[in-house]
Amino acid sequence: MQVWFAKFKADFKLNFIDSARWKWLMEGLGNTLKITFFSLLIGLVLGVVVAAVRSTYDKNKEVMAKHKGVGYYVFSVVNAICKLYLTVIRGTPVVVQLLIMYFIIFATSREDVLIATIAFGINSGAYVAEILRGGIMSIDNGQFEAGRSLGFNYVQTMFYIIIPQVFKSVLPTLCNEFIVLLKETSVAGYVGVMDLTKAGDLIRGRTFSAFMPLIAVALIYLVLVVVLTSLVGVLERRLRRSER
């Protein structure tokens, strides 16, 4: 036992204390959090916009088709663009998207963290959009009709009646998407970004021990996800109060 503990201590020292290697983990954690947080924001904005376009089009296309106004054609084009975006982003792996962003689209930029944030944000937006659209479409049409017969227009019905219900029902799935996003950022190292996983890899490549750096990195991710999940749990419970 004592031997084991002494070895553990020596391993710990070699992997984290020597050459101030823990600083890499801190830098990596910082970058992981930065990328996750900002790409989450980009993803939410993109997702809301795309979901709004797609569900508005799906719900109103018959009515609009009858009038054949300019709005109908504009909407059709925008809807097609959104569909293309969803197909491309959901049809290709995030690593490939990241490499394309870094080596082709932003080939002249040195801001690797920023590029990674944009890549993950655009990727996340597609999933958020489909989660939100699913939520909107799952609300019974009677709710729409009720809103319209109370004299609300389409936007008002959405805002006062549909969205509050959607928010509650999609929250767990949305939270799941954020957790996936946090863990997906671990491929940012492919374009030279020092994220948490990369920091662990670099320690591993210099100390040649697998256990300490990998377990440390895994634990940090786990703690982040547990904290995130519990926060969403609190929010969910507060939203459920209205049900009583």
Partner 1 sequence: MKKIVSLILAVLLIASTMVAFSACKKDGDKLVMATNAAFPPYEYKDGDNFAGIDVEIAQKIAEKLGMELEIVDVDFGAVLTGVAEGKYDMGMAGITVTDTRKQTMDFSDTYATGIQVIIVNDGSAITSLDDLFNFDAETGDPVSLKNADIRIGVQENTTGDIYSSDDITNWGFNNLNEDGSVNGEDRVKRFKTGAEAVTALKNNQVDCVIIDNEPAKSFVAANTGIHILEGDNEYAIEDYAICVKKGNTELLTKINQALAELKADGTIAAIVAKYIKAN
Residues 11-30 that bind partner 1 (CB under 8 A): 27
Long-range contact pairs involving 166-169 (C-beta distance under 8 Å, separation at least 24): 166/132, 166/135, 166/136, 166/138, 166/139, 167/135, 167/239, 168/239, 168/240, 169/135, 169/138
The binder of partner 1 chosen from 103, 143, 223, 233 (CB under 8 A): 103
By CB under 8 A, the count of residues binding partner 1 is 23
Q: Which is nearer to partner 1, 151 or 205 (CB)?
A: 205
- Encode burial over 34-62: b for 16+ CB neighbours within 10 A, e otherwise: bbbebbbebbbebbeebbbbbbbbebeee
Helix residue spans in the chain (DSSP H):
2-12, 22-67, 70-91, 94-100, 112-138, 141-149, 154-157, 163-184, 196-207, 211-240
Stretch that binds partner 1, among 72-80, 123-131, 167-175, 206-214 (CB under 8 A): 206-214
The two tokens of residue 31 are 């970058």
Contact by Cβ (8 Å): 225, 182: yes
By the rule CB under 8 A, 37 interacts with partner 1: no
CB of 120 to partner 1, least distance (A): 18
By the rule CB under 8 A, 206 interacts with partner 1: yes
Stretch that binds partner 1, among 81-89, 130-138, 183-191, 231-239 (CB under 8 A): 183-191
Q: Which is nearer to partner 1, 23 or 240 (CB)?
A: 23
By the rule CB under 8 A, 207 interacts with partner 1: yes
Q: How far is CA 60 from CA 67, 152, 164, 173, in A?
A: 11, 15, 20, 26
By the rule CB under 8 A, 151 interacts with partner 1: no
Binding to partner 1 by CB under 8 A, coded x per residue (else -) over 108-147, reads: xxx-x-----------------------------------
By the rule CB under 8 A, 70 interacts with partner 1: no
By the rule CB under 8 A, 191 interacts with partner 1: yes
Contact by Cβ (8 Å): 1, 82: no
CB of 114 to partner 1, least distance (A): 12
- Closest by CA to 183, choosing from 110, 124, 106, 140, is 124
CB of 220 to partner 1, least distance (A): 19
By the rule CB under 8 A, 4 interacts with partner 1: no
Site for partner 1, rule CB under 8 A: 27, 102-103, 107-110, 112, 189-192, 194, 198, 201-202, 204-210
